[in-house]
Amino acid sequence: MIPGGGQPNMQQLLQQAQKMQQDLANAQEELARTEVDGQAGGGLVKATVTGAGELRALKIDPKAVDPDDTETLADLIVAAVHAANENAQALQQQKLGPLAQGLGGGIPGLPF
């Protein structure tokens, strides 16, 4: 409902939509540049991903390497990457959540 019963100012609505679109694009670019860490095994394996979820680095402490037990190392790697991705999703929610709400709800393809 428009206050006063008048017609919506289409130019103003278009400008607001364009600003929100630009804000969303800026936030997505910032996420792509921001790196987030996750770890497993008390820090024996550390993974770094971007806020968009792209794996950038993987550090493995030599103490985690046992040639007779590569399965445990693989589990630690998966856990560290998973933790990093959870941190990336939290960052996405923090950065993009308010923008998505401003657009009337969730944005298709985003996890919130």
Tens digits of residue pLDDT in 19-71: 888 888 888 888 888 899 999 999 999 999 998 889 999 999 999 999 999 99
The reply to whether 64 falls in a domain is: yes
The reply to whether 109 falls in a domain is: no
The reply to whether 48 falls in a domain is: yes
d(CA 37, CA 55): 10
Number of domains the chain is built from = 1
User: For 3-69, where are the alpha helices, taking DSSP H only?
Assistant: 10-33
d(CA 83, CA 37): 8
CATH code at position 88: 3.30.1310.10
The reply to whether 106 falls in a domain is: no
Whole-prediction pTM: 0.68
- H/E run at residue 57: strand 55-60
d(CA 93, CA 110): 9
The reply to whether 38 falls in a domain is: yes
What's the mean pLDDT when you consider all of the chain? 83
d(CA 85, CA 71): 21
DSSP bridge pairs for 39: 46
Domain membership of residue 41 as a residue range: 33-100
d(CA 98, CA 77): 32
The reply to whether 3 falls in a domain is: no
